[in-house]
Amino acid sequence: MRLLSVAFLLLCNIIAFAQEDSIPKGPRVALGDPTWIAPSLREKISMGLFPLKEPTKGNIQISGDYRFFSTYTRHFDPYLLNPTINDTVLPRNLFIGDDSQLPSLTLNVSGRSALFSSWGFDLYVFQFLNGAIGPTYGNQVPDSLRPDIQYPLTGVRLGGNLGMLLGMNLYGSIQTKRGTLRARIGGIQWVNISDLTMASFRGYNRFILFERNPWDPSGAQLTTRYKQYFDQGSIDQDFRWGNRAFVGAVLEGADMPGRISFLGMIGKTELNGGFSQVPSFTYGGKVKKEFGAKNFVSLNTINSLSYTDSLARETFGFNVITTEFYYAFQDFVLRGEIGAGKYFSPTNNKGWAELGQIKFQTPRRGWWPSFEVHAYRVSPHVVNNNALYWNTATREYRVNDIPAGQVGSTVLLQPFGSSMVRLGQITNNRKGISLNAEHGSKRLKFSGGTGFSSEIIAAAPVITYGNPVNQFTRSRLWRWVFPANVGPYNRYSDIFRDVFQTVNLSDDSSGIVVNRKHFAMAEAQIKYFTKFLGRDLFVFSLFQMGSVQRDWSPVLVTTEKAYIRQYSSEAELYYAITGGFLLNLYYGYERTIGNYLTDIDEESLRPRNQYGEGIGIGCDVDMGKNAKLYLRHRWFTFRDESFNLDRFRGRELTVEIKAFF
């Protein structure tokens, strides 16, 4: 709290100096004497460190949201979660809270200290759930053993188990004749630099709405969210959407001379997490030059530096620098980003390598749909898990030996190897191209695309993939931590709101990978809107198909030549029975098939042959001003006809209450 107080005073001084610069120069007089200020400004400037008059009411605002979340799960089969400790699912499980460590209550406090300056801070309150019975925030620490304000890294730390989402943000802004400056200090913040430096995957807005995300808004009416998704292809998201979590200091400048803007940051991302005492931080930023209404060119960079030990003798991390451009002409859009990056560690230093992507989009004219062509290439030697692309080719250095996903680990758990990904999602060690199209009318809309990609080098004899149907229900089988290599056959890894499987291949040569893998994927979405008995009715459907094989193919491979082929279809219906009650229905079905170059069961002597199904019913209820209730009940089944132990079935009820104020 002392550090936050010091930071607040520093920010106030910055605001004061910038505020002084924005006022016309004149004779230096005593502070608080308004006679030297032009009369036209005296009435406007009412607040500041030394206010000219008593502040008026309404300059401080408090807003935020509260989210209650609970799940009740009933399992009919004793599914094996972890064979090492013989842990199985509970037949019945009632869980209050969200163990993904998202805040239950968020408070945003803001105000205006002068005509040209503002300030604010955020407070996050959440249940720190880690499965332990007892004081999860750490024991009491005597005052004599607490860290000294001059040397905060010494002594016994307070709250040793606190996560990134518990903290306070302090931010302020100042508007001058030379532009607007904004400063943010603390954590957690949400930052976006560019796709290839720091951003999260947004995709083509083809997803299912039945399972709500923790950050989803409520909307003024129950149908607002679904109507917006039908009309615009997207829904309003909060400040987390498309951004990355960051703790530290961020300084931004906008509306500067020459239409220049900039962003600079230094602090920590999720890659600098864990309980290690070894120094680790991330820094970067961008400088952007605008031309015309939308066109721009920017220079972007992100860099991570960590030490291997407390003596700071060796380092590991990465550097990425790119240039980004956006050019629009008569509704045609050309945008792209190219650059270079490198990953360095005591065991790996391949030097700088290339990365880039380019997109060309055509406008919608009459009945002619709009198209987008997307091409990309990311070297296997470029590693940056803060960006859109996953690392699937380079083993990253770790400070401690705690496995990925366990409490205290310094390794970010994510799919590794040749990942089957959504259309638009990219990884390193991959080059590819895709074509997307959109078309629609007032009642019916279509969005779809197809693409193919290939590995640049043969990197690993494994494939990873997820299961879109019952994705979130499956991720809640494992609580408290995000374990890797679990499940009946030790091939599942639980990550944030998702689970992926690992497939081992047998077509290498004496342990050396010789075959590059090639991928083909396709997606299609149909959205329909009508009125039934005078009430809004929405029907959304999503189809996904993908295959991975060792021979290049511009289309989906549906034969045994594919290592893995997967098909899924999902449909949902939303009907507003009344203005305060909305009914929703869901159905999903998926099929995943492996060939005989993948894992073979010792008993059946066959490869993967998986079925998944989900049936859901729920409702949205308006509880009053800015408060909504969301109920979802799902019946789920999964089975692998070849691997007999890999099957589960049951039902799940989720209750969410979300209120904004």
The answer to whether 319 and 341 have CB atoms below 8 angstroms apart is: yes
pLDDT of residue 23: 34
pLDDT of 237 higher than 80? no
**Considering the entire predicted model, what is its pTM?**
0.80
Q: For 161-175, 194-208, 621-635, which range has the lowest pLDDT when averaged over its residues?
A: 161-175
Q: How confident is the model at residue 153 (pLDDT cuts 50, 70, 90)?
A: low
**CA angle 488–494–500, rounded 5-degree value:** 80
Query: Whole-angstrom Cα distance, residue 618 to residue 155?
Result: 52
Domain covering 59-97+192-242+276-399+415-660, topology: Porin (2.40.160)
Q: How confident is the model at residue 598 (pLDDT cuts 50, 70, 90)?
A: very high
CA 54 centroid distance within chain: 44
CA 531 centroid distance within chain: 35
Chain segment 428-471, per-residue pLDDT in tens: 999 999 999 999 889 999 999 999 999 999 888 899 999 999 99
Best CA proximity match to 439, nearest among 372, 514, 355: 372
Residue for token pair 């170059």: 597
Ranges of each domain in the chain:
59-97+192-242+276-399+415-660
Q: For 165-179, 314-328, 621-635, which range has the lowest pLDDT when averaged over its residues?
A: 165-179
Query: Whole-angstrom Cα distance, residue 652 to residue 72?
Result: 6
Query: 36 phi and psi, to 5 degrees?
Result: -85, -10
- Say which residues have a Cβ less than 8 Å from residue 323's Cβ, sequence separation at least 6: 297, 298, 299, 300, 337, 338, 339
Select the more confidently predicted residue: 107 or 38.
Answer: 107
pLDDT of 422 higher than 70? yes
pLDDT of 166 higher than 50? no
Query: Whole-angstrom Cα distance, residue 583 to residue 618?
Result: 6
pLDDT of residue 119: 75
Query: Whole-angstrom Cα distance, residue 518 to residue 547?
Result: 8
- Say which residues have a Cβ less than 8 Å from residue 232's Cβ, sequence separation at least 6: none
pLDDT of residue 509: 65
Q: How many residues does the chain have?
A: 661
Query: Whole-angstrom Cα distance, residue 378 to residue 341?
Result: 10
pLDDT of 100 higher than 70? no
